[in-house]
């Protein structure tokens, strides 16, 4: 950007360092006595953990957000969530555009990498639309929340509504309502539906937004057929997301409808609503209307899978992403039927996209497994609790089986690193620290067949 940036740093390295810098600045602000509700400095490890979970829009907390932090501390957390959700590079670009500052090629490359775009053209307009769209959606969400929270909390309900709207859209999962997230509102339709819509819109990705808006302009003329003109990326993201949401809701309903510790005593309408909410929030949002600790083992395993997949690329969600999983599954199916190309919606997926999907899933699995092993070594927790926590941190979800508040210093360090790696992406980290340049016209090594499977 306009600040002095060393030219020998790659765009990927700048993005990684920007997140790290924001985390450290946030931790120092939260460490101040004024940030604590008690007027005394919070232990730095908890300030660092809270800053990390805010910037990485995860939602795991070692201290309750509603009670531990003052109004100033909560405001700091809200800013960290907003900047972290959009990305520090995108946020700085928005500031530059608003100040009419000129962006050079380096700035445009940073935006391209931050949003995982394929072109440098039209970036200024794209960033402006992202900023405007984010503000409008969060404002609408806050107004809807106010219809519930203002009558209940008075003027404080305005702040709660704004905080919850930003946190939901950014898929952060942090709230200032209670220690039990949104469990008290399990049957409240406005809170549930508003939260689910904010989570879905934030997690589906900005690219899909504008693509859907583009084709909807022809809806009057072509009707539902206009959706055929969506790009391949949008078709995969939307279809995979909807399949996961409805399939997840169905499984949660089947596994929980008789569970007296979750929804067993609720009316059928509330059971359906809670099932959909659980399915949507696992897309890396972290809000909860049900106690994750009381879920059946079957529901917990489904939650683990949905958390690992996460949302869609170029959005506020984490996980390996819906498009990645779709490409990987279709690639596996193509191999099984002995088909050379990977085809989705009558379009061939580039081989490099398939290779990247494999790499992302493998690296995410390694990070999750490593985190699980280290958490098991440093804490005395049930294996399911540990795995749940590790996946939640790596996929930047924020759901927990009441485990985060019980962990010690080294377990907090493990989760801090896991959340950071989950937010910046394992592949980005490897690229950032790989100083080797691609060799052109290099002699290839001999090919030899091996046995697989």
DSSP string, 272-322: HHHHHHHHHHTTTT---SS-GGGS-HHHHHHHHHHHHH-S-TTSS--SS-H
The answer to the question of residue 447 being in a domain is: no
pLDDT at 116: 57
The two three-digit tokens of residue 143, written as one number: 């107004």
Q: Residues 29, 35, 38, 40: is their CA dihedral positive or negative?
A: positive
The answer to the question of residue 440 being in a domain is: no
CA distances from 177 to 42, 67, 165, 407, 430 (A): 20, 9, 12, 23, 39
Total Cβ atoms within 10 A of residue 362: 13
Determine contact, residues 145/165, Cβ cutoff 8 Å.
Answer: yes
pLDDT at 8: 62
CA 369, chain centre distance (Å): 19
pLDDT of the chain along its 453 residues, tens only? 444 444 566 666 777 788 889 999 999 999 999 999 988 999 999 999 999 999 998 999 999 999 999 999 999 999 999 988 876 656 666 665 555 556 555 556 656 655 655 555 566 677 777 888 888 999 999 999 999 999 999 999 999 999 999 999 999 989 999 888 999 999 999 999 999 999 999 888 888 888 888 888 877 777 777 788 888 989 999 999 999 999 999 999 999 999 999 999 999 999 999 999 999 999 888 899 999 999 999 999 999 999 999 988 877 788 899 999 999 999 999 999 988 888 998 899 988 889 888 988 999 999 999 999 999 999 888 899 999 999 999 999 999 998 998 899 999 999 999 999 988 876 565 555 554 444 445 566 787 666 666
Total Cβ atoms within 10 A of residue 29: 19
The answer to the question of residue 30 being in a domain is: yes
Determine contact, residues 46/405, Cβ cutoff 8 Å.
Answer: no
Please give the full DSSP string across 14-65, using - where no structure is assigned.
HHHHHHHHHHHHHHHHHHSGGGBTTSSPPPHHHHHHHHHHHHTT----SS-H
Determine contact, residues 147/161, Cβ cutoff 8 Å.
Answer: no
pLDDT at 353: 87
Radius of gyration of the chain (CA): 22
- Judged by DSSP in three states, 172 sits in coil
* Helix pair angle (322-336, 351-378), 10° resolution: 110
Total Cβ atoms within 10 A of residue 73: 22
pTM value? 0.88
The answer to the question of residue 260 being in a domain is: yes
The answer to the question of residue 59 being in a domain is: yes
Number of domains the chain contains: 1
Q: Residues 347, 350, 351, 356: is their CA dihedral positive or negative?
A: negative
pLDDT at 88: 60
Nearest partner of 101 among 35, 6, 2, 23, judged by Cα: 2
Bridge partners of residue 348, in order along the sequence: 343
The two three-digit tokens of residue 346, written as one number: 């009558």
CA 395-397-400 angle, to 5 degrees, is 115
The answer to the question of residue 272 being in a domain is: yes
pLDDT at 435: 47
Q: Which domain holds residue 340?
A: 11-431
The answer to the question of residue 269 being in a domain is: yes
Nearest partner of 347 among 316, 372, 323, 365, judged by Cα: 323
| Spatial separation of the C-alpha atoms in residues 99 and 89, rounded to whole Å | 15
Bridge partners of residue 344, in order along the sequence: 347
Determine contact, residues 314/86, Cβ cutoff 8 Å.
Answer: no
pLDDT at 108: 62
The answer to the question of residue 445 being in a domain is: no
């Amino acid at each position: 950007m306009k600040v002095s940036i060393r030219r020998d740093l790659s765009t990927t390295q700048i993005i990684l360092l920007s997140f790290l810098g924001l985390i450290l600045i946030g931790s120092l602000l939260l460490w101040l006595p004024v940030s604590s509700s008690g007027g005394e400095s919070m232990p730095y490890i908890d300030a660092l953990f809270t800053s990390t979970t805010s910037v990485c829009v995860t939602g795991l907390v070692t201290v309750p957000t509603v009670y531990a932090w003052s109004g100033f501390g909560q405001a700091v957390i809200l800013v960290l969530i907003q900047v972290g959700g959009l990305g520090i590079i995108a946020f700085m670009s928005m500031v530059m555009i608003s100040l009419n500052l000129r962006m050079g090629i380096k700035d445009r490359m940073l935006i391209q990498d931050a949003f995982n775009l394929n072109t440098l053209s039209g970036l200024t307009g794209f960033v402006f639309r992202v900023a405007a769209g984010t503000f409008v959606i969060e404002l609408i969400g806050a107004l809807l929340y106010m219809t519930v929270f203002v009558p209940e909390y008075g003027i404080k309900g305005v702040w709660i509504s704004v905080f919850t709207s930003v946190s939901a859209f950014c898929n952060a999962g942090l709230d200032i309502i209670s220690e039990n997230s949104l469990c008290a509102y399990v049957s409240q339709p406005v809170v549930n539906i508003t939260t689910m819509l904010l989570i879905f819109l934030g997690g589906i990705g900005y690219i899909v937004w504008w693509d859907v808006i583009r084709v909807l302009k022809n809806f009057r003329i072509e009707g539902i057929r206009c959706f055929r003109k969506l790009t391949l990326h949008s078709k995969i993201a939307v279809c995979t997301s909807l399949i996961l949401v409805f399939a997840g809701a169905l499984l949660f309903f089947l596994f929980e409808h008789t569970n007296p510790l979750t929804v067993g005593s609720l009316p059928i309408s509330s059971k359906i609503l809670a099932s959909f909410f659980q399915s949507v929030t696992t897309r890396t949002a972290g809000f909860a209307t049900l106690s994750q600790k009381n879920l059946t083992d079957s529901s917990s395993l489904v939650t683990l899978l949905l958390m690992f997949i996460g949302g869609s690329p170029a959005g506020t969600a984490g996980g390996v992403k819906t498009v990645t999983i779709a490409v990987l599954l279709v690639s596996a199916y193509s191999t099984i039927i002995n088909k050379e190309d990977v085809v989705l919606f009558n379009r061939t997926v580039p081989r490099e996209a398939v290779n990247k999907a494999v790499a992302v899933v493998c690296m995410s699995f390694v990070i999750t497994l490593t985190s699980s092993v280290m958490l098991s070594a440093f804490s005395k927790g049930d294996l399911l609790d540990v795995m749940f926590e590790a996946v939640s941190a790596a996929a930047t979800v924020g759901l927990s089986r009441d485990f985060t508040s019980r962990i010690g210093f080294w377990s907090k360090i493990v989760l801090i690193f896991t959340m950071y790696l989950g937010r910046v992406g394992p592949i980005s980290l490897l690229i950032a620290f790989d100083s080797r340049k691609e060799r052109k016209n290099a002699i290839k090594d001999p090919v030899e067949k091996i046995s697989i499977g």
